[in-house]
A and B are shown apart, each in its own frame.
Chain A
């Protein structure tokens, strides 16, 4: 997977399937290898046809055991990088790897043993010894048999003559027979001793360790180990490679899955079917706090937040649905929108919890209001979706609420908010390192296309047209209301007539924006405020005094105050600003910009003599990363931190070194560029020497 190339869903999915196949093959292999040894060990041998009942009874559970362990490995490796719980992860990997290593190494050693024994038993010397043993033990020929025959014959003749009285005795003949028998017994004993000696020799030759594989012999000689130990070490090496390959394939599989999902794609072409909830509804998300319910029409997970316009567009695009389904869908879409405020509050709760851990215990309402305010401002394009832009708004809100929060915490909070708005609310979309407003929020205007080719039923057409007109009218009213952001707020705010969201903590119906503004006007008139400052204060007081007003942020309240201020006062105020402040500011800015540009060019010229061109180019490209690190507080503006950053991104893993001078030159370029962009400001305390850095964060 090459993340440098632009994302292509088709290629990414093909790659995902390919890696899935490779990973499954690896898992099957691991199963086979472990099962071969474990089953053989439990059942005694692998000649299945010869197994009796007890062997089957041992073999089947051992197959199950291996299956469970391999499945455990399969799921463990395919999880990718597991954040947190590292100790548990290490133990889990050790258990999985330990089992498979032992079983697979056992198999490897068995193969070595078979090879060694087969080679030993096929050697000519061994075969000769075996033949000699056979000869010694099974031979029927005896060299004294003729003598014995002769002696017994003589004894018989002697006894016959003795009975006829021709002989006095037969002692001589008897002694001869005994002597021959003794000789025969001695000869047999000698043969037996010889056979036993040959059997001993054969036994040692049966497992001649010199017949191990050359690699095993090599390890034996190098480490002076026995054949079994050397065989174990070789098998361990081979199996370790295999286990690493299995793990690697699992990691690559997880990575390709993440790659697809990070771009909003599922890992299957089939439509997922979530089960019904207890109340009979069908939703993708089990926890209502996470996000809104899902529309039955969609392939994607964000459809619950589809506007009615989007819904209508889908119907227009050719989805065949009955009027009942359309009505249900419309109700669900409305329900989803109404839940969003509750959703926002829950998100704020989570963010608040994070802040609790970092900086005391801010009030939950403050966090809720802040998140709503930022969300509204982002939707109205009054605020850019960057950490830098969010920072003042968050800091001001916390400060106004009486919290002194460290800068790092505020930055972190801003990051979390952006991430949350991107991943959970889908208000923002992350592109590279930047966030952008999601396209669906770029305009509140409902969008509908002319039907082309798709035939709708009259009911469908009527429903779609009615929904479209309603949304259009709402949009028009909001656009002409003169209050920036009102349309969005109105759109987001729960309607008084709707049933309250189950997740919302606010159950009292809110005033509409129009009603809120009217009441503010009336209160300001009653207060009798005349001067711009007094009017502004009265507006804020009036808003603060309301029981349950529409959610208006400070910017909107200031605009309301501006509208109430008499025209001549406003003109006076504007003139003052134009005449006095603007030219000075503008001139200063231009001068600053000119200096910064000059400084950047000088820094670049200076760097050319200190760094190789390739590294300089690469280093220049790292500017955005460095800036992000500076803004997030990960890196400071000190030389030491700067060099660490350069070292980490340009040297480590690339086997290259950059001189300290070169690093400094690169850092100077980045700083000059950041100053040019207004990210950094010249430090008034800078003297050209430490301890004060040249620049400070703007």
Chain B
């Protein structure tokens, strides 16, 4: 399968790379790379969900401990959660998986403490 546009040596080099397994297909049907790439996005999604359920809604309706705190204090911590969710999303965009998970974890911690 030589390419007529390349020289003999270039074709040989190309063949050697191909033989070295440059093109590999998966047999089991699970593309782990895709799953790996989705984990940061999944964690960012979880962060938004937790923020909405355990920070935003309690703050707005004065639920749980939020009811016994000043409204300004609740607003500050809700915005802190928002910042962490934004950071998790941008980390996912930038393919910074570890950071995305760390920011999500911090949202969970904040929501539990809040």
Interface residues of A (CB under 8 A from B): 1-2, 15, 18-19, 22, 25-26, 28-29, 32-33, 36, 46, 107, 110-111, 114-115, 118, 213, 215, 234, 237-238, 241-242, 245-246, 248-249, 252, 593, 597, 600-601, 604-605, 607-608, 613-614, 616-617, 620, 676
Contact = CB atoms under 8 A, between A and B. Distances in A.
Given A248-B99, A613-B22, A33 B16 contact: no
Contacts of B113: 213, 215, 234, 238
18 contacts: A22-B83, A33-B76, A33-B80, A107-B73, A110-B73, A115-B69, A213-B113, A215-B109, A215-B113, A234-B113, A237-B109, A238-B113, A242-B80, A242-B83, A248-B99, A249-B90, A601-B16, A620-B17
Given A36-B72, A248-B99, A617 B82 contact: no
A114 B76 contact: no
Contacts of B56: none
A29 B90 contact: no
Nearest to B109: A238
Given A246-B83, A249-B83, A46 B94 contact: no
B68 interface: yes
B39 interface: no
A242 B110 CA distance: 10
A362 B59 CA distance: 71
B112 interface: yes
B84 A245 contact: yes
A234 B86 CA distance: 22
Interface of B is mostly: helix
Contacts of B76: 29, 32-33, 36, 107
Given A245-B84, A620-B17, A25 B68 contact: no
B63 to A, nearest CB: 14
Interface in B16-75: 16-17, 19-22, 24, 65, 68-70, 72-73, 75
Nearest to A241: B106
A590 to B, nearest CB: 12
A535 to B, nearest CB: 42
B109 A241 contact: yes
Contacts of B16: 600-601, 604-605
A22 B21 contact: no
Range of interface residues on chain B? 35 or more
B82 A245 contact: no
Most B CB within 10 A of own CB, among A2, A29, A620: A29
Contacts of A111: 69, 73, 77
User: Which 3 A-B residue pairings sit nearest by Cβ, starting from the closest?
Assistant: A613-B21, A241-B106, A245-B87
A25 B21 contact: no
B9 interface: yes
Contact of A613 (B12, B13, B24): B24
Given A25-B79, A32-B75, A608-B20, A249 B86 contact: yes
Given A246-B83, A613-B20, A620-B17, A252 B112 contact: no
A22 B93 CA distance: 13
A593 B12 CA distance: 14
Contact of B9 (A18, A234, A597, A607): A597
Q: Which of B84, B91, B99, B103 has the most CB of A within 10 A?
A: B84
B43 to A, nearest CB: 14
Given A29-B76, A33-B80, A248-B99, A617 B21 contact: yes
Contacts of A114: 68-69
Contact of A118 (B68, B87, B106, B110): B68
A245 B103 contact: yes
Contact of A608 (B9, B19, B109): B19
B86 A252 contact: no
Given A32-B76, A613-B20, A601 B12 contact: yes
B17 A22 contact: no
A303 B11 CA distance: 45
Contacts of B112: 215
Contacts of A252: 90, 94
A513 B39 CA distance: 67
**Of residues A2, A33, A237, which shows the largest number of chain B Cβ atoms within 10 Å of its Cβ?**
A33
A617 B17 contact: yes
Interface string B99-111: 1001100100110
A488 B68 CA distance: 78
A36 B22 contact: no
A614 B13 contact: no
Contacts of B77: 111
B21 A242 contact: no
B102 A241 contact: yes
B87 A614 contact: no
Contacts of A110: 73
B20 A616 contact: yes
A613 B69 CA distance: 60
A617 B20 contact: yes
A118 B103 CA distance: 30
A271 to B, nearest CB: 29
Contacts of A676: 9
Contacts of B12: 597, 601
